[in-house]
Amino acid sequence: MSTASVPLPNWINYALLPVVNLTLAFLISGLVVWIIGESPYDALKLMLQGALGRGEGIGFTLYYATNFIFTGLSVAVAIHAGLFNIGSEGQAYVGGLGAALVALAFDHYVPWYVTMPFAVIAAAVFGAGWALIPAWLQAKRGSHIVITTIMFNFIGAALMVYLLVNVLIVPGKMAPETRTFLEGGQLPKLDWLMALFGLKLGPAPFNVSFLIALVMCVVVWVLIWRTRFGYEVRTLGLSRSAAGYAGISYVRTVMIIMLISGGLAGMMALNPVMGASARLQVEFVGGAGFVGIAVSLMGRNHPLGIVLAAILFGILYQGGAELSFEMPTITRDMIVVIQGLVILFAGALEYMFRPAIVRIYQQLVRA
């Protein structure tokens, strides 16, 4: 009998399998470190110390995690409709334009809490706008969303570089970036939140975007599991033909969920643009859109899982930075390797161990 259809209890599906896959990914990463000639144990220790050792490290970890929560949610909502949005990277990049334009327009006149709602909306609208054409091509023309969103990443990157180099640049400056936003265009740091736990934030850019990200987790949870539209989305994701017979419009559902996905990706820009650097810079997304794929896969497309996976990747990013500082033979690119292995084992090979685990489980149940 095929083992693919044997039901397994939730704790195996949602805890044991991901942990086994993740362990394998980290074991192979350790192997790479060992091949380079460093001790994997020391590397792991340095990483954990760098990411969680001090208040500043935790601040950076949570700052990175904020990015990944947004992009992870963006990938996840699309996956619930059976769509693979690889374009979170580009949507976040263009979303940054929305946030920056609002910050540039408002920062002279109003305090940050007035700017913030407009910036959130603008970032989401710009991000959603960048998902619009791929969504339309998927819904109406049947063009594969993966292909079109990849292409829109590149078109978006070209567009943003053009705008930053030719339009938004400060006259007379060399760096392709906007002017620094004033206080009214910056999102304040969460020193007080860290102080509650007796930690000092230091220069870490952990800011209000984190709270927006948590709110979005709740919003996504309600949307997907507690609304009629979410039910339609999940139905479509499970079976397009069943959704069709149930009278769920394919075009409408695909368009709306992709706009939501793009909007969530766009909001990611708030964190680096308004929370950290207080200006729009070239390539500020830095691969967070792609990390979102890994985060969503590991978090099983559920907001709670996404938060946990985002924090894990935050630890990797911050710890990896510290590690490359302490062990110069290991560059920051080691994070990219780990990320790739996590995507491979937790995503593409997620069922590799399932048959074996099913066999063990059946023996245990019988015994």
Partner 1 sequence: MDSFDILVSILGSTIRLSVPLIFTALAGLFSERSGIFDIGLEGKMLAAAFASATAAHVSGSALVGLGCGIGVSIAFSLVHGFASITNRGNQIVSGVAINFVAAGLTAVLGQAWFRQGGRTPQLPGEARFGPITLPGTDMMRDVPVIGPLYANVISGNNLLTYLAFLAVPLSWWVLYRTRFGLRLRAVGENPGAVDTAGISVTWLRYRAVIVAGFLCGFSGTYLAIAQSAAFINNMSAGKGYIALAALIFAKWKPVPVMFACLLFGFLDALANFMQGKSVPLIGEVPVQIFQALPYVLTCILLAGLIGAANPPKAGGVPYVKER
Tokens, residue 74: 């963006």
Q: Which is nearer to partner 1, 7 or 198 (CB)?
A: 7
What is the residue type of 319? G
Residue the block writes with tokens 């710890």: 319
Does position 339 interact with partner 1 (CB under 8 A)? The reply is yes
Does position 132 interact with partner 1 (CB under 8 A)? The reply is no
CA pair distance 361, 232, nearest whole angstrom:
34
Q: Which is nearer to partner 1, 27 or 348 (CB)?
A: 348
Q: How many CB atoms lie within 10 A of CB 29?
A: 22
Closest CA to 39 of 323, 350, 272, 232: 323
In whole angstroms, the minimum distance from the beta carbon of 201 to partner 1 comes to 30
CA pair distance 217, 4, nearest whole angstrom:
31
Residue selected from 290, 303, 315, 318 as contacting partner 1 according to rule CB under 8 A: 290
Residue selected from 7, 10, 37, 363 as contacting partner 1 according to rule CB under 8 A: 37
Residue selected from 17, 81, 86, 274 as contacting partner 1 according to rule CB under 8 A: 86
The residues, ordered by sequence, that sit 6+ positions from 302 with a Cβ below 8 Å of its Cβ are 76, 221
In whole angstroms, the minimum distance from the beta carbon of 236 to partner 1 comes to 17
CA pair distance 230, 256, nearest whole angstrom:
11
Tokens, residue 88: 């979170």
Point out which span in 28-36, 61-69, 94-102, 271-279 binds partner 1 (CB under 8 A): 28-36
Q: Which is nearer to partner 1, 187 or 310 (CB)?
A: 310
Residue 247: strand, helix, or coil: coil
The residues in 163-192 that bind partner 1, with binding defined as CB under 8 A, are 165-166
- How does 268-289 read in b/e, with b if 16+ C-beta sit within 10 Å? bbbbbbbbbbbbbbeebbbebb
Point out which span in 30-38, 169-177, 192-200, 206-214 binds partner 1 (CB under 8 A): 30-38
The residues in 188-247 that bind partner 1, with binding defined as CB under 8 A, are none
Q: Which is nearer to partner 1, 62 or 310 (CB)?
A: 310
In whole angstroms, the minimum distance from the beta carbon of 25 to partner 1 comes to 10
Residue the block writes with tokens 């009998």: 1
Does position 52 interact with partner 1 (CB under 8 A)? The reply is no
Q: Cα dihedral sign for 223, 236, 17, 358?
A: positive
Q: How many CB atoms lie within 10 A of CB 157?
A: 17
In whole angstroms, the minimum distance from the beta carbon of 313 to partner 1 comes to 12
Tokens, residue 356: 């074996």
Q: Which is nearer to partner 1, 185 or 320 (CB)?
A: 320
In whole angstroms, the minimum distance from the beta carbon of 92 to partner 1 comes to 16
In whole angstroms, the minimum distance from the beta carbon of 337 to partner 1 comes to 3
Are 342 and 25 in contact by the 8 Å Cβ rule? The answer is yes
What string marks each residue from 299 to 338 as x (binds partner 1 by CB under 8 A) or -?
A: ------------------------------xxx-xxxxxx
Q: Which is nearer to partner 1, 309 or 338 (CB)?
A: 338
Residue selected from 51, 122, 137, 216 as contacting partner 1 according to rule CB under 8 A: 137
Are 112 and 183 in contact by the 8 Å Cβ rule? The answer is yes
Are 293 and 79 in contact by the 8 Å Cβ rule? The answer is no
In whole angstroms, the minimum distance from the beta carbon of 336 to partner 1 comes to 3
Point out which span in 116-124, 192-200, 254-262, 345-353 binds partner 1 (CB under 8 A): 345-353
The residues in 141-160 that bind partner 1, with binding defined as CB under 8 A, are 141, 143-144, 146-148, 150-152, 154-155, 158-159
Tokens, residue 10: 């939730």
Task: Give Rg (Cα) of the chain.
Answer: 21
Query: Phi and psi dihedrals of 316, rounded to 5?
Result: -60, -45
Contact positions vs partner 1 (CB under 8 A): 2, 4, 32, 35-37, 84, 86, 133, 137, 141, 143-144, 146-148, 150-152, 154-155, 158-159, 161-162, 165-166, 290, 293, 297, 329-331, 333-341, 343-344, 347-352
